[in-house]
């Protein structure tokens, strides 16, 4: 039961990560007033979510599990489902989710300061 509940928590963190990464690609619209290029980049990078993290080695894996944590969205919850004793996976995912939430909040607040509506 604990493994299943932890899997569901990790799955919700993965969903939250997906949302926050998406927000990081949307927030620059406050400054650029167009998100077309960033939107295409986001959809291109989301292809990494479909791959297991074990496919990547070295610096690529490090970037895709920390800086742009696309590999964490689905791969880490699934890894915990098959290896429930991996508490390092849980801790890593929690720290990245919390850190990304702070980063998104920071940029969101800065974006609201420069916001100007389309009708004004």
pLDDT tens track for 34-87: 778 788 888 888 888 888 888 889 998 888 888 888 888 888 888 888 887 778
Cβ 76 vs Cβ 14: under 8 Å: yes
Query: What pLDDT was estimated at residue 120?
Result: 54
Is residue 2 predicted with pLDDT exceeding 70?
no
Q: Per-residue confidence at 119, pLDDT binned at 50, 70, 90?
A: low
Give me 119's structure tokens: 């009708």
């Amino acid at each position: 039961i604990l493994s299943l509940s932890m899997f569901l928590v990790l799955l919700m963190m993965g969903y939250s990560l997906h949302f926050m990464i998406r927000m990081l690609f949307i927030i620059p619209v406050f400054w650029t007033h167009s998100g077309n290029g960033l939107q295409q980049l986001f959809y291109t990078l989301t292809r990494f979510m479909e791959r297991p993290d074990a496919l990547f080695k070295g610096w690529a894996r490090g970037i895709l599990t920390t800086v742009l944590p696309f590999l964490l969205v689905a791969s880490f919850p699934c890894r915990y489902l098959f290896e429930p004793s991996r508490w390092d996976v849980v801790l890593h995912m929690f720290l990245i989710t919390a850190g990304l939430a702070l980063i998104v909040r920071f940029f969101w607040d800065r974006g609201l300061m420069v916001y100007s509506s389309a009708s004004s």
